[in-house]
């Protein structure tokens, strides 16, 4: 009899976190690694948010709270949805968890039965399929190519729906591609979904504020109000306010599901950190004046990385419209050979080569269901990004000569 539960065979360690760990190990050993794996802002959490957490601790807000969020925070989230997204979620339609990942896990755990299908556009965030599999569901991947702007079409969506489809899980702006669905594109998907009343929509909006070139963010339920009753809108303070380590995510959705999530969370983690909730309240209700400067820096970094990598031999580098990742096709480097005679047969081979021989840490595209490619985060200082791109260009030159 095995000691470990069989359900653990359905999942694997997060590839992006594995890549981040390898990079940090090399840095700790003294290597000059350009670490472009981390999906988190490199800016500090704004001072007014930190001060709110400090005040909460001094004021004794260090006890248990309601399992799925304080009344004040739920009201602030409800106000945020109404103010910024045109979505009318009442406080009893709001859940708060320890990060968007927990919220997504809770939603799928409370709804997915054995054999249910969840449509996941690819490339996708690494955790989506494993969360579905862990809960006995079947991820159904719909591949969006670079030529499609990494966005699925209504025709593809219709072809993927079966009698077992429970959810469409959509992430815009996207990790890993930076693709952003327009309002019209979301409405076109919505017209398909309107024909299938048993299919629900789960949206991951955590990169909402990170859009470039005048791109306008629209949430799915905002674009399709007729489908709002079967849409769950997930967000977090992590990316928008540089609060990844604080662990605070939230969602709006049908009251019955939100109640079920509260029951589940009462038997797993309990409430999110009381202090983090106080900080999140300050984030959602406070100034966002700092973010304009952040966005300018992100866009300048994106432009630097794209302009340099578009010169790389064997690389194709689309321009992301959101998030802080560049998803680079490396099809032209497949079948090449390194100076040490190692053949590059996959994007994982290339990512390993870049790390071990050129000290640039990336994540291979197979982890995201879109190969061959590598994902680079440009949430790093300009000098690090420029150094990393020079190293990648050198690696491309060497491989192209093989």
Domain check: are 65 and 153 in the same one? yes
Same structural domain, 306 and 269: no
Neighbour tally for 45: CB within 10 Å: 18
Tokens 């849409």 sit on residue: 231
> Do 392 and 320 fall within a single domain?
yes
Whole-number pLDDT of residue 13: 84
Whether 51 is in a domain gets the answer: no
Is the pLDDT assigned to residue 16 strictly greater than 80? no
Burial class (CB in 10 A: 0-12, 13-18, 19+), 174: buried
Nearest CA among 283, 285, 399 for reference residue 341 = 399
Task: Identify whether 178 is part of a domain.
Answer: yes
Residues 331 and 278 in one domain: no
Q: Given 226, 250, 285, which residue is the final one in a domain?
A: 285
- Return the pLDDT at 26: 81
Phi, psi of 159 (to 5 degrees): -65, -25
Question: Which contiguous run of DSSP H or E holds residue 376?
Answer: strand 373-377
Q: What CATH number is attached to the domain comprising 330? A: 3.90.1150.10
Q: Compute the C-alpha angle 282/283/288, nearest 5°.
A: 120
DSSP category for residue 268: T
* Confidence at residue 380, expressed as pLDDT on a 0 to 100 scale: 96
Q: In the listed set 260, 285, 310, which residue is the last one of a domain according to the structure?
A: 285
- Domains held by the chain: number: 2
Q: Which residues, including other chains, have CB under 8 Å from residue 289's CB and lie 6 or more apart?
A: none
Instruction: Indicate whether 22 pLDDT > 90.
Output: no
Q: Is the pLDDT of residue 197 over 90?
A: yes
Would you state the pLDDT for residue 191? Answer: 98
How far CA 323 is from CA of 138, 192, 215, 362, in Å, comes to 27, 27, 12, 16
What tokens does 234 get? 């997930």
Summarize the confidence of residues 274-301 as an average pLDDT.
Answer: 97
Burial class of residue 25 (count of CB atoms within 10 Å of its CB; 0-12, 13-18, 19+): exposed
Q: What's the CATH number where 248 sits?
A: 3.40.640.10
pLDDT score for 99? 97
CB 358 within 8 A of CB 394: yes
> Which residues constitute the domain of residue 256?
59-285
- Domain boundary among the residues 255, 285, 315 is at 285
Q: What is the pLDDT of residues 37-73, one digit of tens each?
A: 988 999 999 999 999 999 999 999 999 999 999 999 9
Tell me, yes or no, whether 102 lies in a domain: yes
53 domain residue, yes or no:
no
pLDDT tops 80 at residue 324: yes
Chain mean position to CA 300: 21
Alpha-carbon distance 53 to 25, whole Å? 31
Residues 270, 306 within the same domain:
no
Residue 226 has pLDDT above 80, yes or no: yes
pLDDT tens for 231-266 read 999 999 999 999 999 999 999 999 999 999 999 999
């Amino acid at each position: 009899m095995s000691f470990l539960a069989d359900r653990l065979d359905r999942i694997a360690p997060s590839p992006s976190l594995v890549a981040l760990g390898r990079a940090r190990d090399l840095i700790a050993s003294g290597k000059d690694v350009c670490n472009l794996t981390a999906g988190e802002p490199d800016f500090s959490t704004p001072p007014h948010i930190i001060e709110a957490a400090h005040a909460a601790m001094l004021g004794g807000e260090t006890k248990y709270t309601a399992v799925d969020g304080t009344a004040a925070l739920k009201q602030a989230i409800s106000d945020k949805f109404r103010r910024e997204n045109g979505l009318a979620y009442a406080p009893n339609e709001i859940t708060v968890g320890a990060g968007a990942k927990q919220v997504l896990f809770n939603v799928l755990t409370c709804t997915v039965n054995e054999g249910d299908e969840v449509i996941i556009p690819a490339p996708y965030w690494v955790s989506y399929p494993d969360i579905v599999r862990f809960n006995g569901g079947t991820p159904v991947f719909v591949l969006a190519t670079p030529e499609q702007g990494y966005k699925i079409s209504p025709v593809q969506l219709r072809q993927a729906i079966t009698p077992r489809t429970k959810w469409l899980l959509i992430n815009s702006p996207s990790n890993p591609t930076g693709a952003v669905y327009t309002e019209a594109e979301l409405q076109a998907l919505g017209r398909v979904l309107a024909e299938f009343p048993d299919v629900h929509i789960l949206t991951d909006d955590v990169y909402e504020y990170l859009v470039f070139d005048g791109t306008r963010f629209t949430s799915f339920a905002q674009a399709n109000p007729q489908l709002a009753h079967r849409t769950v809108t997930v967000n977090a303070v992590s990316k928008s306010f540089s609060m990844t380590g604080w662990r605070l995510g939230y969602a709006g959705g049908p009251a019955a599901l939100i109640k079920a999530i509260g029951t589940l969370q009462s038997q797993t983690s309990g409430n999110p950190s009381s202090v983090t909730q106080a900080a999140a309240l300050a984030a959602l209700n406070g100034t966002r004046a700092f973010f304009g400067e952040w966005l300018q820096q992100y866009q300048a970094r994106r432009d630097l990385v794209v302009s340099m990598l578009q010169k790389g031999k064997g690389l194709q580098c689309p321009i992301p419209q959101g998030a802080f990742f560049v998803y680079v096709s490396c099809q032209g480097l497949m079948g090449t050979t390194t100076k040490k005679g190692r053949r590059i047969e996959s994007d994982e081979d290339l990512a390993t080569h870049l790390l071990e021989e050129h000290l640039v840490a990336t994540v291979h595209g197979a982890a995201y269901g879109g190969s061959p490619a590598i994902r680079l985060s440009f949430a790093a200082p300009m000098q690090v990004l420029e150094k990393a791109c020079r190293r990648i260009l050198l690696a491309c030159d060497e491989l192209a000569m093989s």
